[in-house]
Structure 1
Amino acid sequence: MMKKYALLALAALSLTPFAASVAADGDDKAKPKYNVLFIAVDDLNNDLGTYGNTFVKSPNIDRLAERGVRFDKAYTQFPLCSPSRSSLLTGQRPDVTKIYELQTHFRKNLPDIVTLPQLFKNNDYYSARVGKIYHYGVPGQIGTDGLDDPDSWNYRVNPKGRDKTEEPLIKNLTPDRGLGSALAWRATEGTDEEQTDGMIAGEAIKIMTEKKNEPFFLAVGFFRPHTPYVAPQKYFDMYPVDQVPLPKEIPNDLDDVPEAALFTKPPHWGLDEAKRREALRAYYATITFMDAQVGKLIDAVDKLKLADKTIIVLWSDHGYNVGQHGQWMKQSLFENSARVPLIISVPGGTKGKASGRTVELVDIYPTLAELCGLDPKQNLQGKSLTPLLKNPAAPWNKPAYTQVRRGQIFGRSVRTERFRYTEWDGGKAGMELYDHQKDPGEFTNLAKDKNFVITVNELAVLLKKGYPETEQETGR
């Protein structure tokens, strides 16, 4: 018996900080005061090495995944910048924030809400922002505060690089569309450090260096790969345009898709294959450029000896279509637009594992609050991911909800580990059901298939649970 107790005591001494905090069973004194490095990437989809894309070069995000848990089924609540970021940073879903567009500030609707960075600021963390965390119009508002929230920060920086000053030199493949929503690109001269994202990385490292001896919440928001796709020439050289693979498409793909589901009209905005490869090459080049800046942040954490007390979170505000179903960019409820990369690395925690559970961006706020022992003192609509950070395959029955607005109607979608089910205008403008086990490309809409009547009914109930105001809005 004595030997058993001795072994248990030895095991307790060898626990990592993360494991020790779990073993303490809620004893805040046992929890180390973690820093948080909160990395936001604008318009990044899952075309990354760690997510299985063998063409795109993302070595630094890949190595971050080896330091933590990669979530393979993580979803945005609204595939558009401001609604998504407002939801994540307040811990509330879009139907609570009432942010469905790019102009309204969330404080107009939720004046007293405590945001995620504000929670840390209120608990004696140094809260700083570099670049885009809340919404900015890109490229128009680069170098400004955009729709920032001053209450969230002790300090904020808005770099502006040559990508902004050389805007007139950008090539627009879709000239009828403004640069912020166009397929537009430029391969520039000069160095990474002259670009806005390179400057963002440099400013963030300065803050980490200055504040390395006190707890910090450092939010670093990269603008790329948001269009216009601008990066130094060397990143374009990594992707010969004739080798860029276009997504699979099938004849008559859109025959069973509701009209409301389509954002890009006509498909591909009429661009031929050569121009689509040109645009996709530029998107991938900017991913690799942004990835290099992420690498600088990871290196700085290690060089400053902060790795054993810094949680690193990397997320994107939404996914990005690059030609699937003829669609480009965001604002759709197809998988490529709704799904996001999400990686969380906790000191001493699980490393190099993937979780296949359905999770949401709104879950990040409660997760960081729990990991750092902070009480939000308000209701949060997400669920802490700490069980999945300890065991990525832990039991989990929470679906993921994503919505978008088309004029005056909403599309609302629920994602389980197997299915995606979507209703447009409460079903009046169409429904979609995709079986991701057999059809990961979402080519066959099963919503009217008699063999899936029970599935549709079950998912319709699940959808309504996620959107309690839906019934009132649709008059059902």
Structure 2
Amino acid sequence: MPKRKKNVVLISLDDAFSFWRYKDLFGIQLQTPNLDRICARSTAFHAAYCQSPLCGPSRASFMSGKPPPQTGVYGNRTKAFEVMEPSSMWQCRLKDDGYYCSSGGKVHHGFKPLPKDIHDILYSDEPKRFPIDLKLRKSIAQSSNGGNGGGISNIDPEDDSRYYDAHSSKSFVDFLESYDREEPFYREVGFFSPHSPFITPTRFKQMYNITDFHYPEAWKNEFHRSPTADKVVRKNFKTGHRRNWRKSVRNYFSAFSHGDYHLGTVWDALMASPHADNTVVIILTDHGHHLGENGRFGKSTLYEQSALVPLIIYDPDHAQPRTVREPVALLDVGPTVLEYAGLPIRPDFLGRSLRSVVYGETANPDRAVGTFNTHGASIRKGKFRFVRYNDGTKELYNIADDWWQQKNLGSEHPEFAALEQAHAELCSTHGLGFDQDGNGTRL
């Protein structure tokens, strides 16, 4: 009897930084008990990178297996399915092969369900609509604690079940309890957390005392960025206002812990279900997040803090902890899912299946992984991040010694030429060229 194909659960966080880096970085412990226990049985990729540091373009990229220069999606105003066919998404391959595909929250861009005609191409069940936290703040009894996003929390525990993530996790539990079909399933779980404005139940704000947050030692040094970077990486936050910074980071940490709580509900339901021994779980986010360094609180840059993302793969056949520190890409998610499903990987995919890495092989330590936005493109290769803006400005950072990218090493550095060439080669293979004025153009 042939071995049954594995089920796949894809869990997406929203605006989540690579939490391993921040566990005690600010002098206080980030509370992620459920992610921690999942990682104790999974492969955690500590050098995973998004292909766009913005929600819509990143989701269009990892769900299609194509980088932004190929999708043409660089901003949230461009809707993926206005420029791409739904059938171009790798999940359609699963549905065509007999998988029962089920939606459940924000995985493709947008908190609302996809239009019905598009949804029916991608999924086997009906669309699901969950209330959006941005509207929740208008209808709950609340307190405001200040900082970025306002520090809003509900004061009535009865409102805890009204959050987007509470509905998303419950929807997954209901799905598991009712699923009795013969075919394998692909199920999405999309969370709102830790997206701004960081609304949470009060108990998550109370997990963190703002006086315990402190600047990293490295922040005492100056940030040496190019004039172009200072122009396009617009400062939006007064980091020097320490009390406001502490409140702001507390808000983000609280939202992260809130998402972790609902992730625990999903995980426990799966582990208690008949599907526990035959379901692969992939946990990811769309991009990282700056938390005040260099006057930036948010996303959208080509730097490490915005490009680096959490990526975790749980395989019940290899339920043991493993940390992978070689660079990988969110472009690898599609090929990985397809290989687990026993389906061929399209030759035009630029990503690589990570299944063999989960099984113990070593990822390529010399791989270049790219991140793109409207201002330019950057790569992570080895211990370096190389950035090139559309006006031709280039920056080089040693992220092993300078993770905050405070010191631009410049063109005189002995590794500069090799990184510049690697950047140009990756951009070319990903569909990005440069015109005579240095502007990025689709090939």
For 1:88, what is the secondary structure of its paired residue? helix
Residue 211 of structure 1 corresponds to: 179
Structure 2 residues without counterparts, runs of 5 or longer: 439-443
The superposition leaves residues 34-55 of structure 1 with CA deviations (integer Å, 9 ceiling, x where unpaired) of 1111000000002348967661
Residue 154 of structure 1 corresponds to: 124
In the alignment, structure 1 residue 280 sits paired with structure 2 residue 280? no
- Contact kept, 8 Å, 2:86 with 2:118, in 1: the verdict is no
**Within 2, Cα distance between the matches of 1:241 and 1:212?**
48
Aligned runs of 1:280-299 on 2, under 5 Å?
A: 280-299=249-268
Aligned runs of 1:49-88 on 2, under 5 Å?
A: 55-88=29-62
**Within 2, Cα distance between the matches of 1:447 and 1:49?**
26
Quote how far apart the aligned CAs of 1:147 are: 11
**Within 1, Cα distance between the matches of 2:394 and 2:41?**
40
Quote how far apart the aligned CAs of 1:400 are: 0.9
In the alignment, structure 1 residue 33 sits paired with structure 2 residue 5? yes
For 1:32, what is the secondary structure of its paired residue? coil
Residue 458 of structure 1 corresponds to: 418
1:233 to 1:73, Cα distance in 2 relative to 1, 3 A = same
**Within 1, Cα distance between the matches of 2:18 and 2:423?**
25
The superposition leaves residues 224-252 of structure 1 with CA deviations (integer Å, 9 ceiling, x where unpaired) of 11001011001111101111234455457
Aligned runs of 1:242-321 on 2, under 5 Å?
A: 242-248=211-217, 250=219, 253-260=222-229, 265-266=234-235, 268-269=237-238, 272-321=241-290
2:98 to 116, 124, 146: 124
**Mean Cα displacement is larger for which, 466-475 or 99-108?**
466-475
1:436 to 1:313, Cα distance in 2 relative to 1, 3 A = same
The superposition leaves residues 174-224 of structure 1 with CA deviations (integer Å, 9 ceiling, x where unpaired) of 8xxxxxxx6343111325322111111001111122125541111110001
**Within 2, Cα distance between the matches of 1:369 and 1:293?**
27
The superposition leaves residues 114-151 of structure 1 with CA deviations (integer Å, 9 ceiling, x where unpaired) of 31322221221111111111112xxxxx4554899412
1:149 to 1:413, Cα distance in 2 relative to 1, 3 A = farther
1:455 to 1:159, Cα distance in 2 relative to 1, 3 A = same
In the alignment, structure 1 residue 166 sits paired with structure 2 residue 137? yes
AA aligned opposite 2:149: L
**Within 1, Cα distance between the matches of 2:322 and 2:370?**
24
Count matched residues.
427
Structure 1 residues without counterparts, runs of 5 or longer: 1-28, 137-141, 175-181
AA aligned opposite 1:462: A
1:225 to 1:335, Cα distance in 2 relative to 1, 3 A = same
- Contact kept, 8 Å, 2:145 with 2:152, in 1: the verdict is no
- Contact kept, 8 Å, 1:49 with 1:55, in 2: the verdict is no
In the alignment, structure 1 residue 471 sits paired with structure 2 residue 433? yes
- Contact kept, 8 Å, 1:350 with 1:389, in 2: the verdict is no
Residue 433 of structure 1 corresponds to: 396
For 2:189, what is the secondary structure of its paired residue? strand
Aligned runs of 1:2-401 on 2, under 5 Å?
A: 31-48=3-20, 55-111=29-85, 113-136=87-110, 142-143=111-112, 145=114, 149-150=118-119, 151-155=121-125, 156-160=127-131, 164-167=135-138, 183-189=149-155, 190-191=157-158, 192-211=160-179, 213-214=181-182, 215-248=184-217, 250=219, 253-260=222-229, 265-266=234-235, 268-269=237-238, 272-349=241-318, 351-375=320-344, 377=346, 379-391=348-360, 393-401=362-370
**Mean Cα displacement is larger for which, 249-258 or 295-304?**
249-258
Q: Percent same amino acid among aligned pairs?
A: 25
Task: Give the greater-gyration-radius structure (CA).
Answer: 1
- Contact kept, 8 Å, 2:23 with 2:29, in 1: the verdict is no
1:266 to 1:211, Cα distance in 2 relative to 1, 3 A = same
Residue 407 of structure 2 corresponds to: 444
1:270 to 1:285, Cα distance in 2 relative to 1, 3 A = closer
**Within 1, Cα distance between the matches of 2:269 and 2:189?**
13
Quote how far apart the aligned CAs of 1:397 are: 3.5
1:148 to 1:419, Cα distance in 2 relative to 1, 3 A = farther
**Within 2, Cα distance between the matches of 1:146 and 1:418?**
43
- Contact kept, 8 Å, 2:145 with 2:247, in 1: the verdict is no
**Within 2, Cα distance between the matches of 1:361 and 1:52?**
26
1:379 to 1:51, Cα distance in 2 relative to 1, 3 A = farther
TM-score (norm 2): 0.88
